[in-house]
Structure 1
Amino acid sequence: MAEVYLKSNRYGKQEVKFLKKLVDKHDPKKQEVIEYTVLILLTGEFTESYTKEDNASVVPTDTQKNTVYLLAKLHDFSQPEVFAAIVANHFTSLERFAHVSGAHCEVTQHRWSKMTMSTGERHAHSFYRDGEELRTAVCDSTRKGALKVQSGIKNLLVLKSTGSAFYGFFKDEWTTLPEVQDRIFSTSVDCSYSWAAFASLENVKSYSATFGKAFDGARQTTFDIFARDFSCSVQATMYKMCSQIISQFSGVAEVEYVLPNKHYFECNMEPFGIKNSGPDATIYLPQAWPAGRIQACVARKAQAKL
């Protein structure tokens, strides 16, 4: 048998789901809800559980699940970044977890919005699932190091029916793609932005309001630039988005966008004697695969310090 060694390992619990009700202290009928899906991964002195069938150091994944529920009950929070930090810090700060050297926690927030009544008022405690867009947060914590936090947006499906072109690209003998001066631009936005390192959990908590403003700001920046900017390429558009978010929020160290193409191509109606191309195009056919995938990470030259 070949000589081997355990190069790396980590383990945890995924798809831990809960909904928390936030009740207004002055008017109990005024409520908000947050629904999270949580992933935890631990690293540390777990080698012998793999190599010697010794589970003495293993924190059961069921215990990790229970920990998520209990921390959600015992702590006040309204931002996924704060809860991710609470969970990660729990496993890297308590003495009973001395053998745990690092914790990785991902929190996905599902979108619930309040119902608007016929009077124009938002109902105090009734909600609807507002699309498949997700808000994300990640925290990595080590026993002696700082907390690293990343925020994000996923599954934000956007489309504009004009105001986008693609021309002047590299061509060789295998190129068949025609240049276009006007096209449909659609993508599913995956945006993540990393914060300068936080020294402590309390430091993360102090940024609670900023996390909310940054999420709203990143989302609005995505809309503004996507809609208003004439796009010469997905690459140019995402670079402008990244740069704007970094300029808006001093604590953000870098921003990454992943924008896969959601293609819509003109339907060929020439066999029927009908023009449906160029300026006459109004009917388009969606094509799922293959699809372009464009991504970029833009960083602040002088790192922000919290």
Structure 2
Amino acid sequence: MPSIAAARYGKDNVRVYKVERQADGTQIVTEMTVCVLLEGEIDVSYTKADNSPVVATDSIKNTIYIKAKEHPVTPPELYAAYLGTHFVEKYAHIHTANVSVITHRWTRMTIDGKPHPHSFYRDGSEVRTVEAKISKNNIAIRSGINGLLVLKSTGSQFHGFVRDEFTTLPEVWDRILSTDVDCGWAWKTFTSMSAVEEATPKFNRAWEGARSITMKTFAEENSPSVQNTMYKMCESILELVPELDTVNYKLPNKHYFEIDLSWHKGIKNTGKDAEVYAPQSGPNGLIEVTVARSQASKL
């Protein structure tokens, strides 16, 4: 007889905006997209049409708003832990809450050289991400950066790769490098909500550090390959934040191809003479890595 191997349900794409009003008139704004998926003793709602264990997804949506009012929403790791802990403590038959938080970027305007107290602008598609899995015994949190689009016009190379009958790519010692950064880091498992609260200052520092390391390494290194550069980024983040277990990157290689214009009046536009390029939307290279601490460092 068939049986359920895995099941979860909840509310996705819940948009939340919170404003914090400071005593000096300055306001801080946070905009999030939240998803909560619940697991537990819910099989009969699928197999027997018995809805008695179902916490309505509309109730889940309402809870997301209420917890945003009751608790800080920054850092998002803390809010996700509060939110997930509510569900596993409130409902005995819910064993796990999976919480995803995407924090959208609002940057404070500078007007006449001064930060404006309540005006902001969207300066890119970059978001801060959190995925938390909260059970009755522990809290697992993974933080990240997504949508950080970067480009450098020189300082990248790629040569020495496999050449065979399928190869047409030339070796290059100077090329354009651009990628859409997807970076994540997994925290060592937290044993309780109080442990997450104690770690609160570390969440923002880790995000700021990972973002800074990503851009500094990308900008300053004469990259021998995306693979090697992303590994160095992971090493630096693990060194900066001892509380992390792993760091991972997923980097698409966004290509810019030279255009041969020699057919028109002998215009030189390749190699050292290249100035005009054709940005490519696809296909693109995709390079991924996850770097964990050595076993020796865990002792």
In which range does the TM-score fall when normalised by the shorter chain? over 0.9
How many Å apart are 1:302 and its aligned residue?
4.6
CA RMSD, Structure 1 to Structure 2 (Å): 1.3
How many Å apart are 1:304 and its aligned residue?
8.1
Q: In the alignment, which residue of structure 1 is the partner of 2:269?
A: 276
- Kept after mapping to 1: 8 A contact 2:30/2:73: no
Matched, 1:168 2:160: yes
Distance in 2, Cα, partners of 1:199 & 1:8: 24
Matched, 1:114 2:112: no
Matched, 1:22 2:58: no
Deviations 1:38-85 (A, max 9, x none): 011111111111111111101111110000000001113421111111
Matched, 1:53 2:49: yes
Deviations 1:168-223 (A, max 9, x none): 00122111111111110000000000111111112112222211111111000001
Change (3 A) 1:192 1:243: same
TM-score, with structure 1 as normaliser: 0.94
Deviations 1:104-160 (A, max 9, x none): 000000001111011x110111111121100001110112x2101111000000000
Distance in 2, Cα, partners of 1:228 & 1:298: 21
Q: In the alignment, which residue of structure 2 is the partner of 1:69?
A: 65
- Kept after mapping to 2: 8 A contact 1:250/1:304: no
Query: What is the SS of the residue equivalent to 2:33?
Result: strand
Which is worse superposed, 269-278 or 61-70?
269-278
Q: What amino acid sits opposite 2:177 in the alignment? A: F
Percent identical residues: 47
What aligned pairs does 1:1-306 form with structure 2 within 5 A after superposition?
Answer: 3-24=1-22, 26-27=23-24, 29-94=25-90, 97-118=91-112, 120-143=113-136, 145-272=137-264, 273-302=266-295
For these two proteins, the number of residue pairs brought into alignment is: 297
Query: What is the SS of the residue equivalent to 2:272?
Result: helix
Change (3 A) 1:303 1:202: farther
- Kept after mapping to 2: 8 A contact 1:196/1:303: no
Q: What amino acid sits opposite 2:32 in the alignment? A: Y
Deviations 1:246-270 (A, max 9, x none): 0011111110000011111001212
Which is worse superposed, 296-305 or 174-183?
296-305
Which is worse superposed, 202-211 or 192-201?
202-211
Query: What is the SS of the residue equivalent to 2:123?
Result: strand
- Kept after mapping to 1: 8 A contact 2:81/2:132: yes
Distance in 2, Cα, partners of 1:142 & 1:215: 24
Q: What amino acid sits opposite 2:83 in the alignment? A: V
Query: What is the SS of the residue equivalent to 1:16?
Result: strand
Query: What is the SS of the residue equivalent to 1:141?
Result: strand
How many Å apart are 1:8 and its aligned residue?
1.1
Structure 1 segments of 4+ aligned residues over 4 angstroms from their partners: 302-305
Q: What amino acid sits opposite 1:278 in the alignment? A: G
Q: What amino acid sits opposite 2:224 in the alignment? A: C
Q: What amino acid sits opposite 1:215 in the alignment? A: W
Distance in 2, Cα, partners of 1:281 & 1:18: 47
Distance in 2, Cα, partners of 1:211 & 1:73: 20
Distance in 2, Cα, partners of 1:62 & 1:72: 16
